[in-house]
Amino acid sequence: MKLDLTLPAAEAATGAVAQPVAPLSAKGADLIARTLVEIGVDTVFCYPGGANLEMLDALSRVAITLVRTEHEQGSVFGAQGYARATGKLGVCLATSGPGATNLVTGIADAASDSVPVLAITGNVATHWLGKNAFQEVDIVAITKPVTKLARQVREPRDIPAALREAAACALAGRPGPVLLDFPKDIQQARPDQPTDKRFTAPVPAGMSEETAQRIAALLARSERPVIYAGGGVIASGTGTRLVALAEALDCPVALTMMGLGAMPDDHPLLLGPLGMHGAYAANVAVNEADLVLALGVRFDDRVIGDPSSFARHAKIVHVDVDAAEIGKNKPVTLGVHADLRDAFSGLLAYAKRLGVPDWHAYLRERRETHPLRVAQPVAAGEASVLTGVDVITALAALLPPEAVVTTGVGQHQMWAMQHLRLRQPRTFLSSAGFGTMGFGLPAAIGAKVALPDVPVVDIDGDGSLNMSVNELSTCRRYGVGVKVLVINNQWLGMVRQWQDMIYARNRVASSLVDPNAPEGANDGRPYPDFVTIAAGYGVAGARVTRAEELPAALARMLEDPSEPYLLDVLVAREDDVYPMIPAGKTYRDVVFGPGQAAGPIAAGAF
């Protein structure tokens, strides 16, 4: 199946695609288009405006697909979805001023989750820079803190070299976003002798044999080892080596949200995700271990909680391609600055079975005692009411292993993290570090454009989807067969859960019900009515209100992979995400449900 990414008939009728194609000139905008093709870019997510029309005109005449989203933030999240699903460079294009600033949230999101995105912006002509011209903004200064490289190109001859350098920078080492800003006169200029340097990205020195032997010696003395692996494994494409190492050592593994899919969900050595809403056994393992082998992780606060209490009795070995992350949030016994592709070779060369059956038995008991499950039962008399976990579990049973799932941000995101059956890398795309609501739908569009023959489902919440529901128009315009599954509880659910737990149930500004509906009214039509909204964009949809309706509705949603479709599922309004470790607390403070906790657990209880 191939997506139809040509202009719709209505646009073609204006002559936009019927005009004769003129020979390429040597304008700066043409250099931009040509160079992007040469570095392997095949798709650009964009929104037009006065300062980028030169570039759009040039891009329309080369072998690059242009996907116009409904908002610049949709463009940058589309580029992210493309990059996260493929590992390739995602590219977005915006105009100056508000167009450029509308990219900033997505750029910061890409920085937090290490996603290679090239953001290209137009700007006012150089003679107007710094004069408060119409739609002028210093986007380079704004984005420098959240990019690996941010630069304004002031000489047209530098265009090819600047693009090659930016692309190499975005993909090198720890991936991340870069930004290039092109003033309009630079796009229009005709340089005589453009420079075209090639760039070789620097690589870490790698793991020495001595270091590999030292790690092997630490592992050999361990009685409670655990591998703590994250997004670096996904980014480096070393998931199979992670599995090989865990099996060679017979060592349990805990994954971060960014690492999900690096190891098949049904692997016997995988304990599941760890962190604030992670599996209890995974949190026990890293906190009661005597040796933590941390691979491609950043010791995020949502994972470690109180740094002084995290893995307090363990020796920690941290291997990461970004030297700045080593020891930043948690002191380590041994820090290794290395690309995981190189590091795994050394680790596997000296890996020996550890023989820790008592440790495995202990963790298995923790998993069996406190499995991931629906912690809060549906209220009496509502036997047919669905929970978010019910919906995601039913979806997981229908999806093939290669299916890509994106999420919005909120309770549905955590339920998806806990209950999807992820067996392949790059199949779970979620805003983990920045937690950006509205991420799910445009990211799903980017993934589907990149992988048109793969099922792509956006698991979204009603609050999160409401921030980007306009991108259904993009799905319709280009025939992008994204499936949107709305877990609809009529709340900003995670906000409401925190308000209940921390702020004495003072639910300020978190309700999403119709403000004019009678108190307690429930006619099966939630607010907003996403099915009607989808229809307004020409996208088919349906609503589910009872458990018995769900199987057939999911089957219908997945039936035609080329058709965009929205399924709005009303779930129990008061259901919460458990387990939960309160912010700043430790795994010993975990809450398993209303009024429940793990009880007193001493560190090193094993």
Contact of 112 with 104, CB cutoff 8 Å:
no
Task: Given the residues 135, 376, 424, 596, select the one marked as catalytic.
Answer: 135
Q: What is the DSSP letter of 24?
A: P
* Residues contacting residue 85 through CB under 8 Å, at least 6 positions apart: 404, 426, 429, 446, 447, 450, 451
Active-site residue 263, yes or no? no
Question: Residue 552 contacts by C-beta under 8 Å, 6 or more apart in sequence?
Answer: none
Terminal Cα-to-Cα distance of the chain (whole angstroms): 53
210 is catalytic: no
- Is there a contact between 170 and 117 (Cβ–Cβ < 8 Å)? yes
Q: Which entry of 11, 134, 365, 559 is annotated as an active-site residue?
A: 134
Query: Choosing from 55, 136, 165, 184, which is the catalytic residue?
Result: 184
Q: Which residue has the tokens 């992008």?
A: 480
Residue 402 neighbours by CB under 8 Å, 6+ apart: 424, 427, 454, 455
Token pair, residue 307, equals 């740094």
Peptide bond into 579 cis (omega under 30): yes
Q: Is the dihedral of CA 230, 86, 174, 137 positive or negative?
A: negative
Burial grade of 435 (CB within 10 A; 0-12, 13-18, 19 or more): middle
Q: Which two tokens stand for residue 5?
A: 């990414």
72 given a catalytic annotation? yes
- Cis peptide bond prior to 23, omega within 30° of 0: no
Q: What is the DSSP string of 170-188?
A: HHSSS---EEEEEEHHHHH
Largest CA distance in the chain: 78
Catalytic position from the list 494, 499, 557, 580? 494
Helix, strand or coil, per DSSP, at residue 335: strand
Q: Establish whether 494 is a catalytic residue.
A: yes
Residue 463 · residue 557 · CB < 8 Å: no
**184 counts as catalytic:** yes
Query: Which residue out of 72, 136, 165, 325 is catalytically annotated?
Result: 72
Residues with a known catalytic role: 72, 134-135, 184, 494
